Amino acid sequence: IEAWRGIDILSSGERTNYPLTLNVDDRGDSLSMSVLVTGKVGAGRVCGYVQTALENLLIALEQSPDTALKSLPILPADERERLLLGFNDTALDYPQQQTIHGLFEAQVERTPQALAVIHGEQRVTYRELNEQANRLAHALRKQGVQPDSRVGICVERSAEMVVGLLAILKAGGGYVPLDPAYPVERIAYMLQDSAPAAVLVQTATQGLLADVSVPVINLDLSDWQDESVQNPQVAGLTSAHLAYLIYTSGSTGLPKGVMIEHRNTVNFLTWAHAAFDAGTNNSALEKTLFSTSLNFDLAVYECFAPLTSGGSIEVVKNVLELQHGEHDIGLVNTVPSALKALLEVDGLPESVHTVNVAGEALKRSLVESLFEKTGVQRLCNLYGPSETTTYSSWVAMDREHGFAAHIGKPVGNTQFYLLDEQRQPVPMGISGEIYIGGAGVARGYLNRDDLTAERFLNDPFSQNPAARMYRTGDLGRYLQDGNIEYLGRNDDQVKIRGFRIELGEIDARLAKHPAVHEAVVTAREGVPGDKRLVAYYSVQSAQTEPSIDSLRGWLQEQLPAYMIPVAYVRLDAMPLTPNGKLDRKALPAPDSDSLISRGYEAPQGEIETQIAVIWQELLGVEQVSRHDNFFELGGHSLLAVSLIGRMRHIGLSTDVKALFSQPTLAALASAVGGGDEPGSDKVTVATNLITPGCQRITPDLLPLIKLTQEQIDLVVACVPGGAANVQDIYPLAPLQEGILYHHIAAEQGDPYVLQSQFAFQSRAHLDTFAQALQTVINRHDILRTSMHWESLDEPLQVVWRQVELSVEEIQLNPRFGDISRQLQERLDPRQIRMDIRRAPLMRVVCALDTVNQR
């Protein structure tokens, strides 16, 4: 001090390479602190946090020295209160003892004649829907369904699907969606894990359930239609019982079931009614599109929010159906990528005034495009994992205020906590992991107590000692106005086209391939705005080198389509960091060798060349062969819509149906050009080169179609007797291609199945008739023909040399009505499907009519 006497410090400066420097000086009887902070990081706030932390540390040292350091708060009391209480002031009254079906039944009393469900030409009122659901619910009760029972539902999208959902709830059970589009192996696992008390099916989906040992009720049959139409009274059923069990992707290689209770959903529905003006003249829920698969919880909003508030729902296969036909709807619920695809082809109906999006990051350009191109008045961006009941936060955007770059604020009775690694609140504007508490938090994961304990935690910030919060794995930060900015994930979970995917599940499945040593899957954005899955793998040995086709096929047998990687990159070994962990940044970008290739042959003619250029731009590939398959190169339904839109811009008129039936470049160009382009694929008459007794069919024996040996072997393996029973293989005629498309696209039944019914005086007469049919089949090739399209460049038909017509006998009970009528209902072409991959393309089914002795 003496050395500085007489010296005035006019100015001073200090330089540092650190954003924050803290100095504490011991003055003997006190401590002094100085903090040097970069101005860009909010120097005043940071200094305040440091001072609060040190003050709390000193108090703890004096008063409670055993306190864990990690539990000491760093936030000033007023900021902590604002973050934990002020921003989470979301109290909303809701009927805590009510059930989902109870809300629906109350609405039936209010508007029994109002329109409830639309599906195609079908119209169902609230009273009709309630009575149908009651009949089925009573049938389920007789099968032993009770509170907390799980009931599988594996049906096509239809009004009957809605009946099934309500019936399961009314019977006291929780529904378990089993999407018919899922691989049989995945459905089998979900059935095994959920152990349902019963399963609802249709004739078209019953074959997907292998070796089910529980009661199965076929909604297409009439044996439950005589039950009571009165609302079931289920003793002991409360709002704490299971409403539904929904499976999400799991990092261990198997999906995990999220258990949602009635009270979770009733809270959510109550908020939705208030947020979307239900019951008023301005209700956004008056006419809602129901387009989401039951396997995704967006379907809970689309189905039950309207049906518990007096609105109607239109059931369609998916949201892209909006570009076809007339749709009088006001609200559409979808993902941003699907909305973008619809806007590109002007596919959004003029009647739509409200659009909800979720599942993906929302871009400003899409919001601006929506308001510019359509009459939509409100766009809502919603966020939330399945574990907290559909939606947990939201923000509404209108034409006046435009885009909002955040996920909004919590919905009713929901709390958001942004916490650090010690589960303490992070300061305003600082990134933290999102934890969600409140009335929407699920019961947990079925049969996964370990994972439930890891992700569902006690809520230390709630006054309710039983309150829990869910750890999302998402990152976010609070903005000054209480809105939350989403910042991504802290693990390997990704969202692609709105689908939630645990990459570890795909890793585990691919690693089990017999030829694969190691496998890892990542999500890469090859084309801006379009994330795709890329698989990296090493092999067990050079002698067991798997083809990309075999790897893709292996996964297709176990995983839904949205979880199948587009590219497969072969590595000698996985790149590692110095500490031995996988170095994801070192994984190379996929090239053309990592895609399924059918051998390069340059596009021929102007149309093929024009379409090839569009494919290159959409799919991000350097070149396209005329035999390449759009979907094998990374195409999907949303890109298909974009492709058709771009083709129309250059004068090539077609639709998505044509692409699905003609997915190769040459075939699509031929369909667009009418087959007149030079080099387009044309069917010509040629001599049959497959001789009787042929033991192996090779490409040179098939002059009418171009197939690889691997494809030929795949097709031949589908024919009983193998190559010796194959008479010919050739492409479909144009008319057949249309018939095949309608067969594949049909949600249920088949528009080309024709039914004829005959009555015979005796079984001997029937056998004689069947022998005559067999003679006709032996004579006509087309009756011994099967159709094949899976894993092929283009669909084809196979003529079998020999095929036996079998007569299937079923038992029908005259107590349930006329045998002739029962047989007609059982084999109704609007419901049943034929396996056209097996000849003959006819089926004989008989039943004994003891009443009429025939």
Query: Contact at 8 Å (CB) between 561 and 181?
Result: yes
Handedness of CA 817, 821, 826, 830 (dihedral sign): negative
Mean pLDDT of 66-80: 83
How does pLDDT run across 764-791, given as a tens digit for each residue? 888 888 999 999 999 888 899 999 988 8
Q: Residue ranges of the domains in the chain?
A: 1-74, 102-238, 513-594, 606-673, 699-846
Contacts of 657 (CB under 8 A, 6+ apart): 741, 745
pLDDT at residue 749 greater than cutoff 50: yes
Which has more confidence, 325 or 453?
A: 453
In which region does residue 687 sit, left (phi positive, over 0), alpha (psi from -120 to 50) or beta (all else)?
beta
Q: What is the pLDDT of residue 680?
A: 40
8-state DSSP, 413: T
Report, in this order, helix, strand and coil percent for the chain, each rounded to 5: 35, 20, 45
- CA separation, residue 16 to residues 12, 19, 20, 36 (Å): 14, 8, 9, 9
Measured in degrees and rounded to the nearest 5, phi and psi for residue 423 equal 60, 40
Instruction: Give Cα 53 to chain centroid, integer Å.
Output: 46
The bridge status of strand 493-496 relative to strand 530-539 is unpaired
pLDDT at residue 815 greater than cutoff 50: yes
Q: What is the pLDDT of residue 853?
A: 82
Ranges assigned E (strand) in 766-841: 785-788, 796-800, 807-809
- The per-residue b/e assignment along 801-817, b for 16 or more CB within 10 angstroms, e otherwise, is bebebeeeeeebeeeee
Q: What strands, in cross-sheet order, belong to the sheet with 174-177?
A: 216-218, 198-201, 150-154, 174-177, 242-248, 256-261, 444-445
Q: What is the pLDDT of residue 227?
A: 94
For domain 102-238, give its CATH number from 3.40.228.10, 3.40.50.980, 1.20.1340.10, 3.40.640.10.
Answer: 3.40.50.980
> How many other β-carbons are positioned within 10 Å of the β-carbon of residue 229?
13
Quote the CA–CA distance of 520 and 712 in Å, as a whole number.
31
Max mean pLDDT range (92-101, 513-522, 622-631, 745-754): 92-101
676 by Cβ neighbours in 10 Å (0-12 / 13-18 / 19+) ranks as exposed
Q: What is the pLDDT of residue 15?
A: 65
Max mean pLDDT range (43-47, 157-161, 529-533, 651-655): 157-161
Q: What is the pLDDT of residue 93?
A: 97
The confidence band for 13, taking pLDDT boundaries of 50, 70 and 90, is: low
Helix (H, G, I), strand (E, B), or coil: what is residue 383? strand
Residue 18, CB half-sphere, CA atoms under 13 Å: how many? 6
The confidence band for 2, taking pLDDT boundaries of 50, 70 and 90, is: low
Q: What is the pLDDT of residue 548?
A: 87
Quote the CA–CA distance of 114 and 681 in Å, as a whole number.
53
| Domain 606-673 is found in CATH 1.10.1200.10 | yes
pLDDT at residue 540 greater than cutoff 80: yes
Quote the CA–CA distance of 296 and 233 in Å, as a whole number.
29
Query: Contact at 8 Å (CB) between 781 and 799?
Result: yes
The confidence band for 675, taking pLDDT boundaries of 50, 70 and 90, is: very low
The bridge status of strand 122-125 relative to strand 331-334 is unpaired
How does pLDDT run across 599-614, given as a tens digit for each residue? 778 888 888 899 999 9
Among 66-75, 272-281, 340-349, 721-730, the minimum mean pLDDT is found in 66-75
Instruction: Give Cα 527 to chain centroid, integer Å.
Output: 22
- CA separation, residue 452 to residues 206, 280, 387, 456, 768 (Å): 33, 40, 10, 5, 63
Q: What is the pLDDT of residue 682?
A: 39
How does pLDDT run across 44-60, given as a tens digit for each residue? 777 777 778 888 888 88
Closest alpha carbon to 667 in 629, 714, 614 = 629
Closest alpha carbon to 272 in 284, 259, 287, 258 = 284
pLDDT at residue 504 greater than cutoff 50: yes
**513-594 topology per CATH:** GMP Synthetase; Chain A, domain 3 (3.30.300)
The confidence band for 681, taking pLDDT boundaries of 50, 70 and 90, is: very low
Q: What is the pLDDT of residue 107?
A: 97
The confidence band for 683, taking pLDDT boundaries of 50, 70 and 90, is: very low
- Percentage of the chain beyond pLDDT 70 is 94
415 by Cβ neighbours in 10 Å (0-12 / 13-18 / 19+) ranks as buried
Query: Contact at 8 Å (CB) between 634 and 526?
Result: yes
Quote the CA–CA distance of 849 and 854 in Å, as a whole number.
5
Which residues is 650 bridged to in the sheet?
none
The bridge status of strand 150-154 relative to strand 198-201 is parallel
- Enter the tokens of residue 703: 């002059």
Identity of the amino acid at 415:
Q
Q: What is the pLDDT of residue 126?
A: 98
Handedness of CA 390, 394, 398, 402 (dihedral sign): negative
pLDDT at residue 678 greater than cutoff 70: no
Which has more confidence, 151 or 566?
A: 151
Mean pLDDT of 204-214: 85
- Enter the tokens of residue 166: 């309500």
- 3-state SS track over 603-654: CCHHHHHHHHHHHHHHHCCCCCCCCCECCCCCCCHHHHHHHHHHHHHCCCCC
Q: What is the pLDDT of residue 16?
A: 66
Mean pLDDT of 728-735: 82
Q: DSSP labels for 334-351?
A: E-HHHHHHHHHTT-S-TT
How does pLDDT run across 542-594, given as a tens digit for each residue? 777 888 888 988 898 888 888 889 889 998 888 877 777 778 888 888 887 78
Identity of the amino acid at 369:
S
Measured in degrees and rounded to the nearest 5, phi and psi for residue 141 equal -60, -40
Helix segments in 479-574, DSSP class H: 503-511, 548-556
Contacts of 450 (CB under 8 A, 6+ apart): none
The confidence band for 240, taking pLDDT boundaries of 50, 70 and 90, is: very high
Mean pLDDT of 227-249: 96
Task: Provide long-range contacts, Cβ within 8 A and 24+ apart, for 619-625.
Answer: 619/526, 619/527, 620/526, 620/527, 620/530, 621/592, 621/595, 622/592, 623/592, 624/665, 625/597, 625/598, 625/599, 625/600, 625/601, 625/665
Mean pLDDT of 11-27: 72
Q: What is the pLDDT of residue 602?
A: 86
8-state DSSP, 292: S
Q: What is the pLDDT of residue 17?
A: 66
The confidence band for 677, taking pLDDT boundaries of 50, 70 and 90, is: very low
The confidence band for 1, taking pLDDT boundaries of 50, 70 and 90, is: very low
**Cis status, amide bond into 840, omega within 30 of 0:** yes
Identity of the amino acid at 746:
A
8-state DSSP, 83: I
The confidence band for 172, taking pLDDT boundaries of 50, 70 and 90, is: very high
Q: Does the global pTM surpass 0.75?
A: no
